A and B are shown apart, each in its own frame.
Chain A
Amino acid sequence: DIIMTQSPGTLSVSPGARATLSCRASQSLRNNLAWYQQKPGQAPRLLIYGAFTRAPGIPARFSGSGSGAQFTLTISSLQSEDSAVYYCQQYNIWPGTFGQGTKLEIK
């Protein structure tokens, strides 16, 4: 299975600032990479698919970039509601696999 490694494990950022979350795959994914947001007690919510395409209803503050085996989720103008755990998922090769998550704290 493809291993997805996310960094950092925890990120503390001030409101209004920008957060940059990284995701590295154990092999090339082309652009078959998704990002999810999960708040406590809730199911994951799809933010980005195809590495950079926002899912319906996702604010433009969320942007995805990267290709191959290295990807980035950038969240600009951070708000308190962005506090959550963020996961990346590859779906280039069966089975789709997820990273271990980055916890984003808004301090």
Chain B
Amino acid sequence: EAQVTQNPRYLITVTGKKLTVTCSQNMNHEYMSWYRQDPGLGLRQIYYSMNVEVTDKGDVPEGYKVSRKEKRNFPLILESPSPNQTSLYFCASSRTATEQETQYFGPGTRLLVL
């Protein structure tokens, strides 16, 4: 089954404690991205990756890091989480960067930073 998986699905942490949210897709997609979803603001892109070893900032990259060492994986790293990073996070992928109109989303990771 074609899918994007994320782990963990729920996470409660404290300010400053580094965490990683994993994302994996099994569709051999080149393009992957991370979004955060906040009430009234919709989905905002954090980082994206056109292909392996190619990443770039989205609209709200501050406080986040990513890496793309393998095509299927695109982890999101919060080196020093703060309460304003409490949000719902989605990983997404599409076959290429020019085919984002058919983007697949993961199930989401709900993060609470105390």
A and B from one complex: no
B contact residues vs A (CB 8 Å cutoff): none
